[in-house]
Amino acid sequence: MDVSITPASSLNGAVRLPGDKSISHRYGMLSAIAEGPSTLHNYSTGADCHSTLNCMESLGIAIERDGTDIIVQGQGLHGLKEFAGILDAGNSGSTIRMLSGILAGQQFTSRIEGDESLARRPMARIMKPLAEMGAVISARDSSYTPLVIQGRKLKAIDYTSPVASAQVKSCILFAGLYADGVTTVRESIKTRDHSEIALEGFGAEIKVIGKNVSITGGKPLTGRELTIPGDLSSAAFFLVAATMAKQARVLITGVGLNPTRSALLDFLVGGGANIKIQDIRSDGGELTGDLLVQNAKFQGGFVDRDLAAALIDELPVLAVLAATSENGMTVRDAAELRVKETDRIATVAENMRRMGIEISTFEDGFHVPGKQQFQGAEVESFGDHRIAMAFAVAGLSATGQTIVKEAEAASVSFPEFYNLLNHLRG
Ligand code: S3P
């Protein structure tokens, strides 16, 4: 599907976003291995999070889906059933990496793979710690799908993670539920802590000390009723679009504001964006609030180290904002961008250049000078949801029409994106 984006000088109105992708995955998995039913409200409508639910169903879990209300009939830590087929993680790195931790602790063998994009993404990062815990895992070329995971009674480990990845941390913590003793994951850069919050909420014995997290194996989880906040990474597209518009007043209600995700807001506001946070509340330990964003001059900024990890999913749309900012933006220490759904350094640069924007790239980042003007052009999603949405946002401020090819990729995390964008442009 191609989507045509025409320039929009103003954006106005209120939107509520689908549930956070990261939190939905975790609740979907943990509720399946908890005891008793869980009811999850505002579960993500994105295809990725439904890949997680499909996998849990394949593993014998009954799930009722009533719009965004999901009821999962948890069967306890040892209630999953062997699936004779190949579990399908679709496009979802979170599904395959986090679920592998659970599969490693089962008394059966599982096979799991996904689409072409997932087949290019590295899995050695989870295979290594899981092998240390005693699971036997094989993969194509030692790191790529399909994975064959022979579950085992696992040993607790103390693991220093060499990559800043919440998926890796979560995989080990989920495996730790099945280990004999206390499993510890140590990070050098603190990544999103949704797993820690969710595990605590479902009743796991978990301790967080700074960047180290420990979980005690063998403790049963209990089903819960939880509401998932709107996805701040999806809100990012509207925060940037509104900041770039000539006139904008957009209210985004019920957005997740977890401090390990909200560096985005600090970065935007620090650079001059006009964003007001209202009505902060908490659900299941996750902070939620409303964001009122108005157009503003954005100065640009510099991203490296911890900030690169904290903004990793938002960097494509921040690159778009940077092009029209006063001073542009430099991103370093973000080589992880190269192993996302696409090589996002390459795909951002390709689309920027098609739209007449100057950008230089490095192995671990890019530099976008400021004060540039997008020209309407044909751009590609490359099958990557965040690339599709980032360049739809670029199209709003372009001269002339922009066509986003394979724009349906957005539905991996945000199927409602184009409709909500149309709603805001009135
Ligand atoms: C996620 C962690 C990040 C992020 C992804 C979701 C998660 O990936 O890019 O969209 O839910 O834990 P990494 O763990 O690979 O950094």
Instruction: Establish whether residue 167 lines the binding site of ligand 1, counting it when its CB lies within 6 angstroms of any ligand atom.
Output: yes
* Distance from C-alpha of 377 to C-alpha of 391, rounded to nearest angstrom: 10
Last residue of a domain, which of 209, 227, 245?
Answer: 227
Residues 219 and 359 in one domain: no
* Distance from C-alpha of 12 to C-alpha of 15, rounded to nearest angstrom: 10
* Distance from C-alpha of 350 to C-alpha of 334, rounded to nearest angstrom: 17
Last residue of a domain, which of 184, 210, 227?
Answer: 227
Q: Alpha helices of 202-326 — where are they, by DSSP H?
A: 232-244, 263-270, 305-310, 315-324
Residues 124 and 233 in one domain: no
Nearest CA to ligand 1 atom 10: 313
Q: Which residues contact 374 (CB under 8 A, 6 or more apart)?
A: 320, 323, 324, 355, 356, 357, 394, 395, 397, 398, 399, 402
Nearest CA to ligand 1 atom 13: 165
CATH number at residue 341: 3.65.10.10
C-alpha distances in Å from residue 379, one per residue of 327, 342, 347, 394, 415: 25, 15, 10, 10, 19
Instruction: Establish whether residue 386 lines the binding site of ligand 1, counting it when its CB lies within 6 angstroms of any ligand atom.
Output: no
Q: Which atom of ligand 1 is nearest to the CA of 164?
A: 16
With a pLDDT cut of 70, the percent of the chain lying above it is: 100
Nearest CA to ligand 1 atom 11: 22
Q: Which atom of ligand 1 is nearest to the CA of 21?
A: 11
Last residue of a domain, which of 188, 208, 227?
Answer: 227
Q: Which atom of ligand 1 is nearest to the CA of 98?
A: 12
Residues 13 and 89 in one domain: no
Residues 410 and 312 in one domain: yes
* Distance from C-alpha of 140 to C-alpha of 138, rounded to nearest angstrom: 7
Q: What's the gap in Å between 372 CA and the centre of ligand 1?
A: 31
Q: Which atom of ligand 1 is nearest to the CA of 22?
A: 11
User: SS3 for 416?
Assistant: coil
Could you report the per-residue pLDDT of 359-418, keeping only the tens digit for each? 999 999 999 999 999 999 999 999 999 999 999 999 999 999 999 999 999 999 999 999
Residues 187 and 253 in one domain: no
Q: What's the gap in Å between 359 CA and the centre of ligand 1?
A: 25
Residues 209 and 302 in one domain: no
Instruction: Establish whether residue 52 lines the binding site of ligand 1, counting it when its CB lies within 6 angstroms of any ligand atom.
Output: no
Among 193, 231, 290, 313, the active-site one is 313
* Distance from C-alpha of 64 to C-alpha of 71, rounded to nearest angstrom: 5
Burial class (CB in 10 A: 0-12, 13-18, 19+), 65: middle
Residues 124 and 238 in one domain: no
Residues 90 and 41 in one domain: yes
Residues 215 and 241 in one domain: no
Q: Tell me the pTM.
A: 0.98
Residues 117 and 258 in one domain: no
Burial class (CB in 10 A: 0-12, 13-18, 19+), 212: middle
* Distance from C-alpha of 158 to C-alpha of 132, rounded to nearest angstrom: 10
pLDDT score, position 426: 84
Q: Which residue has the tokens 């970065």?
A: 267
The H-or-E segment that residue 277 falls in is strand 274-283
pLDDT score, position 302: 98
Q: Which atom of ligand 1 is nearest to the CA of 309?
A: 16
User: SS3 for 73?
Assistant: strand
Q: What's the gap in Å between 147 CA and the centre of ligand 1?
A: 19
The H-or-E segment that residue 422 falls in is helix 417-425
Closest CA to 211 of 190, 237, 227: 190
Residues paired with 136 in a beta bridge? 150
Residues 37 and 174 in one domain: yes
Q: What's the gap in Å between 25 CA and the centre of ligand 1?
A: 11
Residues 198 and 247 in one domain: no
Q: What's the gap in Å between 187 CA and the centre of ligand 1?
A: 14
Residues paired with 131 in a beta bridge? none
Instruction: Establish whether residue 293 lines the binding site of ligand 1, counting it when its CB lies within 6 angstroms of any ligand atom.
Output: no
Give the structural domain span for 223: 21-227
Closest CA to 182 of 134, 219, 216, 133: 216
For a ligand 1 pocket test, name from 312, 318, 340 the mutation site with the most ligand atoms within 8 angstroms of its C-beta.
312
Q: Which residue has the tokens 């969710």?
A: 198
* Distance from C-alpha of 72 to C-alpha of 39, rounded to nearest angstrom: 7
Instruction: Establish whether residue 169 lines the binding site of ligand 1, counting it when its CB lies within 6 angstroms of any ligand atom.
Output: no
**Catalytic annotation on 364?**
no
Residue spans of the chain under pLDDT 70: none
Domain count, the chain: 2
